[in-house]
Chain A
Amino acid sequence: MIEVMEKYIIKTEQIDTWLKRIIESIPRVLAPVSSGTKTEFRKIKSTEEVDNKSFTTTVSAKAAAFPPVETLFKYQKDGKDTTLTEESFDKYPETVLWHARSCDAMGFSPLSAIFDWDYKDNIYDERRNKLTIVTFACIQSDECCFCTSVGGGPGNVEGSDIQLTTLNATDTLVEVMTEKGQKLIALLPDIFQPLSEEVDKEAVLAKMPVRFTKEEIKEHVSNAFDSPVWKRQSARCLGCGACAFVCPTCACFDIQEDAHGSHGRRLRCWDACGFSLFTQHTSGYNPRPTQATRWRQRILHKFSYMPERLGVYGCTGCGRCSRACPVDMNLQEHLISIANSNHE
């Protein structure tokens, strides 16, 4: 259970004044910005850019610490000598992730577990350490959301440094969980009023019934490696990477070379287990030769291997994969069907 260190009330109309101060003080502020029909996290320079209306972004916030592509090091060959230059940590700016959701904030826990599993990935760690997360509790949800079924919730504060909850037309509850959060409050302390009486936060949150438990899923899938369920569920899967790329916890990456003759960069970029090439060996052999085996890997990794090895599940119930899927591979629907199934 995450402890809330401080609680305040901020006048809802003053939130932008605070955000303005944050933008002035912090080099990079990422917030949901609307463009075309979609809303995505982008670097903002003014409060007007923030899309406060749409309740979630297509792509999760993971790029704040695990960008789609990043340089691991640069190299320069000179005769027989090769000089390697690591990226300077100064390149990773102090960042505030603004108006994220509980499911975004929760996603950094599995990401950190993966990147610090045995080798400590100092590039990821540096970016993560420089990240302060301000979430807005969800007062609405859609049919793809299922955070409450995987241990989260619309007002879950795990992973958030600060969480704001709109209580009514004038007041917003501010919960501060960390020192990082306190630093943001300290930027404009006068606009935060200490909480004089307890407020009923739950009452304003989106109502989301628990449809299954993650432990239930783990129990079912852990012994279902040879089940026909994978082939049946994955029949319509097209094998693209949309689900993995929008997911807050998918951490698989590819190492690529941006080579230019005698110099170049070694890059880490997002990869997806749904791609047939993902496990293709140089010999031509592919241990996951069908979409069914790749779908099985996706579910088992999130609901069996990760809890077993890392003690954390690889799903925050954000529903982004389901919204992004061109063929309606609805994760909640598939998990409910798994939870209700007998081992076949």
Chain B
Amino acid sequence: MSEVVISAKALTKRYGAAVAVDRLDLEIEKGEVFGLLGPNGAGKTTTILMILGLTEPTEGEIRTVGFDPLRQPLEVKRRVGYLPDMVGFYDHVSGRENLAFTARLAGIPKGEITQRINKALERVRLVDTADNPVKTYSRGMRQRLGIAEILMRRVDVAILDEPTAGLDPQTTREFLDLVRSLRSEGMTIVLSSHLLELVQSVCDRVALFRNGRIGLVGRVQDLMRDVLGGSHVIHLAADGADIEGTLKGLAGVQKVARAADGTWRIDATQDVRADVARRIVEAGGNLQALNIASASLDEVYARFFEGTPHAKAA
């Protein structure tokens, strides 16, 4: 699990005076699902385009599947599949014909094309509609057709740019299941998203982007421990006692803070609900609600970048 498929060193991309990606270091290993996360305009798509050799870096070095994407783009693109943000197809021809065209561009042997297309379409459950023109497809179906293209090409690495944008929750869940099943077959998957919480469940490791730089890289659990100090957040509604004073010093409690709506938020290293309840009742308070919420990447992101000015947006 330590073979590096994508590596970037001090990668920089400037558009005139604007810096899209700023001295970025990145290593993505074979077989993992890697999330590039951050708000729009944080440099995720630019990074992806440089990985593929579709955009020339201003400075820095990049290797994709062992090749230089600028000098050996065909070798890179043969092994890497790309699903762009808001993928488009030729609308007046069928999904199958769209795939047949890319199959020829990808250099798939003529005899195999039909069979590989059918297999890919089956996998994304588009067989019934494959012969309808793409203009009749929904957003989710187009996304699946894009995945079918990657499946058909049998690439080693799949790069998915904002794959869940504009999908309804049901379709998103199906899509994430598909990503998991691809990973279990040994495909390396890089996906970018601005919806941190949504993808945290599928990513082995994530990189958090902000203003063209990566702030944090690592496993979701590790990041939560490192940044939040604990991965438990407890919401408490109570009155009639000095809540803050009562809970201070309780084993496992790191921080007690009052939220805007008058409830309390407790950050803890473990599930301290039982102790909290006991303490408040003993102090004569009225306990109204006590819920545990597992911490999310959104909080990691917010906490880590606290104080830094917000990205200039798209």
Q: Are the chains A and B members of one assembly?
A: no
